[in-house]
Structure 1
């Protein structure tokens, strides 16, 4: 089985289109199509359905996806080990977006310190574009970002955070726990916007409505969005990791929306090729363990 075919399959699912996957992989759209067709022949299964200009993963594709992601991650980890220089530095400089810095790294840094007690860890929190430039100039050693834009980086899927609708305590939808996109089109909406490609999939769901949603507040900060919902200013789509404490205390209630099922906020771990293999291996293993438990301890 060709690893490039599996890579194309995983990237199409991640970015939501053949064209975007082609851009990120630095190949042509026909080449991506050919790789998927080859993979479908190998698996004797159709992986995607075309619905006009949109694509939708088939049930067979959904069944194969977790295995494809695991195959790709194992391959990338093996490649990194072969390319590794094998040295442990005295300091590790980590770059991170705000959400990962707030909700994931406190646990990861403690775990890293236990494993590498003689290493000092320096954290820089910044937007994705700034982190990419810092990594290119070697001001940081690795970064947690929303997208990969340069082939000189080695990139690893790190965190898959489901995006769900959250309402406040006492809201009518809190009792049912589920709704359709039409049920919420007239609800006052707090729209958190992080600017990632993953978030654009949520935009596309709203574009299918006859009338736009009633966006009362448009914010770019998770804490602001959560507090507005808790204070009953509206309801909001949020990544699950940021809401754990509020859900446990009953301040926020998740509501399942069929049309947005499967949409998640994805974070990649990137580094310059062949560097910091030991740290990356530890981070990937720890991240996978945390996601398996779906909680930060």
Structure 2
């Protein structure tokens, strides 16, 4: 008689999602030998090999590929059942939100008043961290939802919340401010304050300069958008920045967006994540508010 061990199923799905036994162990808060033991137990139950192991490299077998959709469905069904059994009330008195630093600085102050209006009896608690840290906190039930970069995870639902265009910004009286458009060659010659947050869209910014014989003049490299913005205001250089972080300075005439056609369509996507089927009233409200925030987002001056 075959008995389903959900922990073994979970380990199998995580290994495929994470790409290795070590990374799956970190995500599950287990030791690597424990994950290996769970996979071996599942292989005995199924009487087949799920992975081919070549040194430190692993590759899913044909049997593993055929079993994967059933494993994912089993895991999802279990999680939904567990949620249904353990649900005590539809709305908590305290709602815990994890978010990246940029979201806490620029989006939460606009989101929270609308959220408080919809849930006036709820207290809100916020924690900040990197995308990977927030994903871990949602998985570990340390926070209820998380605002992160675009991610996918088998144990989480991930919904697009906000898309923020990336534009090139210069300070007042910079020679580029009055230009109809700026070429990549011209940008590369200028002192650059280069902000990037690790999202894939920043690779597109890097690729702008790949065809040039000379590397761009990157004077300062930072992963903090607020620092990059203040350095531009101090005339340390020009910078590619998410529009949301410079709205006040643009409105006050302190920073100016520059027309660079090659950057059209480049943006940072923020998703909201939670466990499958969890906190649906809050998620629905957050997504609706996100649509309003997108409508409020002004376009760069040169695009009008």
Taking the TM superposition and a 5 Å limit, the aligned residue runs for 1:76-87 are 87=90
Which residue of the partner structure matches residue 171 of structure 2? 168
Cα distance between partner residues in 2 of 1:120 and 1:225? 33
CA distances 1:5-41 after superposition (whole Å, capped 9, x unpaired): xxxxxxxxxxxxxxxxxx98x9xxxxxxxxxxxxxxx
Which residue of the partner structure matches residue 89 of structure 1? 92
In the alignment, structure 1 residue 219 sits paired with structure 2 residue 222: yes
Taking the TM superposition and a 5 Å limit, the aligned residue runs for 1:102-251 are 102-251=105-254
RMSD between aligned residues: 2.1
Asked if structure 2 preserves the Cα contact closer than 8 Å seen for 1:177 and 1:254, the reply is no
Cα deviation for residue 221 of structure 1 reads 1.2
Which residue of the partner structure matches residue 281 of structure 2? 278
Cα distance between partner residues in 2 of 1:208 and 1:95? 40
SS of equivalent residue, structure 1 residue 139: coil
Asked if structure 2 preserves the Cα contact closer than 8 Å seen for 1:95 and 1:140, the reply is yes
Cα deviation for residue 109 of structure 1 reads 1.4
Structure with larger RCO (C-alpha < 8 A, sep 6+): 1
Cα distance between partner residues in 1 of 2:137 and 2:180? 43
| Consecutive aligned runs of 4 or more in structure 1 exceeding 6 Å deviation | 83-86
CA distances 1:194-251 after superposition (whole Å, capped 9, x unpaired): 1111222212222232221000011111121111111111100000000001101111
Aligned length: 218
Relative to structure 2, which stretch is displaced further, 145-154 or 257-266?
Answer: 145-154
Which of 276, 291, 294 aligns to 2:294? It is: 291
CA distances 1:117-171 after superposition (whole Å, capped 9, x unpaired): 1111000111111111111110000001013142111010111000000001001
- Structure index of larger Rg: 2
Which residue of the partner structure matches residue 13 of structure 1? none
